Structure 1
Amino acid sequence: MNVPSPFGGNTPSIPQFGNQDPNVRAIQGAMESCYGKSIMSGVMGFGMGGLFGLFMASMSYDTPFGSPLQGANGQPAVTSLPLRQQLKIGFKDMGTRSWSMAKNFGKVGGLFSGIECGIEGLRAKNDLVNGMAAGCLTGGILAKNAGPQAVVGGCAAFAAFSAAIDAYMRQPSDE
């Protein structure tokens, strides 16, 4: 039995849920649409990138070789400043790096997910080729401002990475 979807077309009724509340069906339809998947991937990538950026920024103050510890342009090194100023500089740097990583991860997640979902819909198959093609397109799009060589390199690198992850995820479980 097909149920009209608020996102266009008909959504097949899922047997375990039966004919539930239309709001539940609408949310399920949104989660299964390419737009929903892209938005979820972008939001989750943004969150993960923020946490990753926070972690990486906090680790950069651990070593004497990190740039934040050395003075530049005649400014004193961070370690020679009072504690309150060190903390202020450190937290500002952590926020800046977290925001930058969050934006980048969100962009990559949303772009890859949207492209992969679109390719899967066009091909009507769920296989390794979808991820590789989406990886190639995503890598190329992200490297477009750096020139043709970077586009080819980004395409190859993202496609290979996507193929490796997808192949690993498709392995049968040992259970």
Structure 2
Amino acid sequence: MPRILTSHTSDSELTEHNAKMFGSPKERLDFYRREIQYETSILANRTDAYLAAQSFLVIAFASSMGNLNPEWGKMFTLVVPPFLALLGVLSSLNAWPGIRAAYDIIDHWYYKQSELLRSEPVMGMAYDESPLFCERESTHKGYRKALLFSVRTPWIFASFWVLLGFWGVFIQVA
């Protein structure tokens, strides 16, 4: 993989650059919080779109399994539901990278925020002695639990579709 070679930048140049870019730790914290909020809304939108698509696939699957046409219903229910299950698995596998990427970006910004709060302890002391952000709010454990639904959903639905696909074929053949 090609690398871009640059000259060594001193710590004083980096500090000066950061001061010009953000002005204060408060501005940096605000920037991190905006990025977290933006990426969280992207993750929520991706999860919503994915769940909407999955709900329509479930409805189509159930409808196709209920086909009672005496001429071609048996063949229809043997062919169409497994294809819908395959489409569900493929859409789950296709949704996973986007959801995971948003999660990784959120993880990055939370890490930057926690490092800022750790390096600038007075940042949390706004108007009184209680911190603006307590340790529970800025740890990895707290926000990761909140994002687990979005991260787990594609794998849960992929498993669900595999089971439904096999079940749909099994009840038609048996």
Fold agreement, TM-score > 0.5: no
The normalised TM-score by structure 1 is: 0.28
Q: Which of the pair has the greater relative contact order for Cα pairs under 8 Å at 6+ separation?
A: 2
The normalised TM-score by structure 2 is: 0.29
Larger Rg: 2
